[in-house]
Homo-oligomer: A and B are copies of this chain.
Amino acid sequence: MTRKKERGQLIVLSGPSGVGKSTVIAELLGQRDNIYFSVSYTTRQPRVGEQNGVNYNFVSREEFERMIAADELLEFAEYVHNYYGTSLKLIQEKLSAGIDVLLDIEVQGAAKVRERCPDALFIFIIPPSFEELSRRLHRRNTDSEDVIAGRLEKARQEFREIPKYDYLVINDKVSNAVEEIAAILTAAECRVPNRSHMLAQFA
């Protein structure tokens, strides 16, 4: 079911590396109408298999710095000499058109979005257990033990930020996590202030 909306909702999704966020997001986008996944901008080089406009919008350092100067970014950060950021303009266009916008963003970026867009929905995804997170990172078979240990330590730090989020979703099973996120979005649509335009006829 899709009801007409005055304005889309901004949704910030965070969670540790290995929790399965990409799978959950892909599933959610497949099930839901009127939702747009905001692809980040970066100055780093594409990896094998990565597509421009799908995984990232790949731009030059000059272009990224122009975007910073023009205040075109909702948030950005520099990691290992590369910029990563979120375009504000595209998000605003989608929200005004009544389309929800989903951001996949780590905890520091989320903190910046919270300052500028306190009305966004902040959702944190956790694994069913720390051991399961470790198992999933090992199963990916892409990282060395050192890198995995680093990711797990980073996860512990990220978990400390959960109290700043609105919702906590457990990815024990992709379908459960997707169901919970879908419920959070539907419930937010039902909030009285988001439906005040429906009340005029009853006044």
Interface residues, chain A, CB within 8 Å of chain B? 1, 3, 123-124, 126, 129-130, 155-156, 159, 162-163, 165-170, 176, 179-180, 182-184, 186-188, 190-192, 195, 198-199, 201-203
Contacts and interface: CB of A to CB of B under 8 A. Distances in A.
A165 B192 contact: yes
A180 B186 contact: yes
Query: Does more than half of chain A's interface fall in helix, strand or loop, or is it mixed?
Result: helix
B198 A126 contact: yes
Nearest to A165: B192
Contacts of A162: 192, 199
Contact of A202 (B126, B165, B191): B126
A123 B191 CA distance: 9
Contact of A163 (B129, B182, B192): B192
A3 B180 CA distance: 11
A184 B191 CA distance: 9
Contacts of A190: 123, 167-169, 180, 183-184
A181 B195 CA distance: 15
9 contacts: A1-B176, A130-B202, A156-B202, A163-B192, A167-B190, A183-B183, A183-B186, A183-B190, A184-B190
A111 to B, nearest CB: 15
A130 B129 CA distance: 50
